[in-house]
Structure 1
Amino acid sequence: MKNCFLTTLFLFLSSIVLAQTSKTYFNAAGDKHLAGEFDLEILKSDSSFQTWYVENERLFNLSGKNTDWKNAFENSEVEILIGTWCGDSKRWVPQFVKLWNELGLEESQLKFTALYDGKELYKQGPNGEEKGKLIHRVPTFIFTNKGEEFARIVEFPVNDLETDLAQIALGYASEPNYRAATYLLELFESEPLDSVYKNVQTHFNNVYRLVGKEKELNTLGYVFKYSDRMPEALLTFEINSVLFPYSPNVLHSYGEALMDNNQKDLAIQLFKRVIELEPGNETALNQLKELQDEIDHDEERQTEGEL
């Protein structure tokens, strides 16, 4: 009886500590989410996350193949940036942790950070935990040794989790998903924007060879936009609009960024093109009217001033 009481007390106190150290917030839909660094135990014990964690953990099973390669990870750490609102995070993080445990590796080697959803802090941490890490998709698994990154998995495994980890351990890691987005992220980190524009055709050709679906750069554009990097966002959206000139969604995203940057004439051109491709797009129709009304109002004020 005494042991039972002590166990219950320990679990209760542990839950209090977790509640005090893990930042939570509620999104626009009223759902509870995590932000910033957190202890894995909260995903396993908090009812807001426990269901999807347990369900997805069950999906993974070791293949039964030789796993001697696991020894290569003994001195490694993995930083895992997730969104508790993200379907891919819900699926792959529990499976990754289960694989890590079944390999006999230590959970203490894993560091967990949750990023916000929503526009104002889109894929950002409360203390800028994502900065300098080239994060554009979640989950992202960053493998380091003595602080130096040597591999990463972006959003989902290229093959399967066990194969991807084996390749990383053996020094033959698959190139992470979203190569075009990674190219632009690394480019903007290494060169000033005026230099990028001087060689924009070369960079466009490189992106063209690497890009997958239209959402790849569209998502990256929003990451830049909502982290106060509007010049990078505009160039990313512009490149995407050339790659996918018949996509209403791509053109609309670019138009909205131009609108936010007060480039009204160019935004109007984009919204008109969106409406040509998708006549029933109410958002584009309303934004086009709003911009045209603003321009008409500005012209009236200018005329009155001249008089």
Structure 2
Amino acid sequence: MKKTITIIFLLTSYFITGQQLNTLSKDSKGKPMLLGKTNKKAFENENFKWFKKNYDSYLTNDKIITQLKDSIQNYTIKAFYGSWCGDSKRELPKFYKVIDETHFNKSQLEVIAVDKKPEAYKASPNGEEKGLNIHRVPTFIFYKNNKEVARIVEYPKQDFERDILTIISGKKYSPQYIVVEYLHKMLEKKTIKELKNEENKLAASLAEFTKGSRELNTYGYKLLRSNQLEKAVFVFELNTKMYPYKANVFDSLGEAYFTTKNYNKALSSYNKAQKLDPNDKNIANMIKKIKTEINQ
């Protein structure tokens, strides 16, 4: 009888939540990965031994943990990570150790594993990341009264204890990759046409604050994979203005043009990439592929 009640409870919980916890999937190479909502039990699986190793090896600051214990309870947190991602493997266990030691109420925590496959790049099966600008993982978003107050992107600026203390103390906290955060807001407020009129000005002003060509490249690919094609092309074009000496930015722009079937522009972009990096085999292969499309 008890067994029957347990089964009914589990089934009921599943239909209420709408999804299972700790779903195990495989990436394009057949390697195990987690997808969707997870909790700490997910990392008891032997495929994710990195979690315990990094959790156990992280030494927290007891004094700061004590300062966090009360105020952190006024927040809810959403954490997005990839079980396939090196940064997530390093940072997620540290984050968990800090909130465990603060006795953070886990009902106020939502942890979501995202995909790595190109067709679902940094996306979860149920779309929890939509509208949240999850361009890098891990990303930890802090909410108070249902409003986002800050986020830690990819890794803390100091460490999780000090960064979280800054956030819950109400002090100004800027995450890593502030150029992406700024540009994301601009893309929500203005049309592409309006932004194109400001493109040269944007390139000059943002170049000073970017962390290199990969900052906008990663963001552009997130937009491209989520089928926000016009925005993706704009971001890649902007990046070529900021880094006209980098082959990878023209490579990425060429891929975006190719995806939108603008083959002449794609070819032009890949030709520029090849001049900057004549030995890149992928660039050479794409040029051949594009020429075939044009000549059909």
TM over 0.5: yes
Whose radius of gyration is greater, 1 or 2?
Answer: 1
Q: 1:58 maps to which residue? A: 56
Matched residues in 2 for 1:35 and 1:292: separation? 38
Q: 2:273 maps to which residue? A: 274
Q: 1:40 maps to which residue? A: 40
Matched residues in 1 for 2:20 and 2:151: separation? 30
Q: 2:197 maps to which residue? A: 198
Q: 1:94 maps to which residue? A: 93
Matched residues in 1 for 2:70 and 2:293: separation? 64
Please say if 1:28 is aligned against 2:28: yes
Q: Deviations over 1:161-202 (max 9, x none)?
A: 111111112112431000111111111122222222233334
Task: Please state whether the residue corresponding to 1:131 is helix, strand or coil.
Answer: coil
Alignment of 1:124-273 (within 5 A): 124-273=123-272
Change (3 A) 1:193 1:72: same
Runs of 5+ in structure 1 lacking a partner? 1-9, 298-307
Change (3 A) 1:146 1:174: closer
Alignment size in residue pairs: 283
Q: CA RMSD in A?
A: 2.2
Please say which of residues 215-224 and 277-286 is displaced more in the overlay. 277-286
Task: Please state whether the residue corresponding to 1:176 is helix, strand or coil.
Answer: coil
What amino acid maps onto 2:195 in structure 1? V
Matched residues in 1 for 2:40 and 2:282: separation? 40
Q: Deviations over 1:249-280 (max 9, x none)?
A: 12111111111112222211221122222222
Matched residues in 1 for 2:200 and 2:69: separation? 43
> Which structure 1 residue ranges, 4+ long, deviate > 6 Å from structure 2?
none
Matched residues in 2 for 1:81 and 1:123: separation? 9
Report sequence identity in percent: 32
What amino acid maps onto 1:123 in structure 2? K
Check conservation: 2:152, 2:175, Cα contact below 8 A: yes
Task: Please state whether the residue corresponding to 1:99 is helix, strand or coil.
Answer: helix
Matched residues in 1 for 2:294 and 2:197: separation? 32
Matched residues in 2 for 1:256 and 1:174: separation? 35
Change (3 A) 1:38 1:236: same
Task: Please state whether the residue corresponding to 1:29 is helix, strand or coil.
Answer: coil
Task: Please state whether the residue corresponding to 1:236 is helix, strand or coil.
Answer: helix
What amino acid maps onto 2:24 in structure 1? T
Q: CA deviation at 1:20?
A: 5.1
Change (3 A) 1:52 1:118: same
Q: CA deviation at 1:143?
A: 0.5
Q: Deviations over 1:200-221 (max 9, x none)?
A: 3343334223211111111011
Q: Deviations over 1:212-254 (max 9, x none)?
A: 1111111011000000001111111111111111211121111
Runs of 5+ in structure 2 lacking a partner? 1-5
* TM-score under structure 1 length normalisation: 0.85
Please say if 1:121 is aligned against 2:115: no
* TM-score under structure 2 length normalisation: 0.88
Matched residues in 1 for 2:235 and 2:30: separation? 32
Matched residues in 2 for 1:189 and 1:242: separation? 21
Matched residues in 2 for 1:58 and 1:162: separation? 16
Q: 2:105 maps to which residue? A: 106
Task: Please state whether the residue corresponding to 2:28 is helix, strand or coil.
Answer: coil
Check conservation: 2:83, 2:113, Cα contact below 8 A: yes
Matched residues in 2 for 1:226 and 1:293: separation? 24
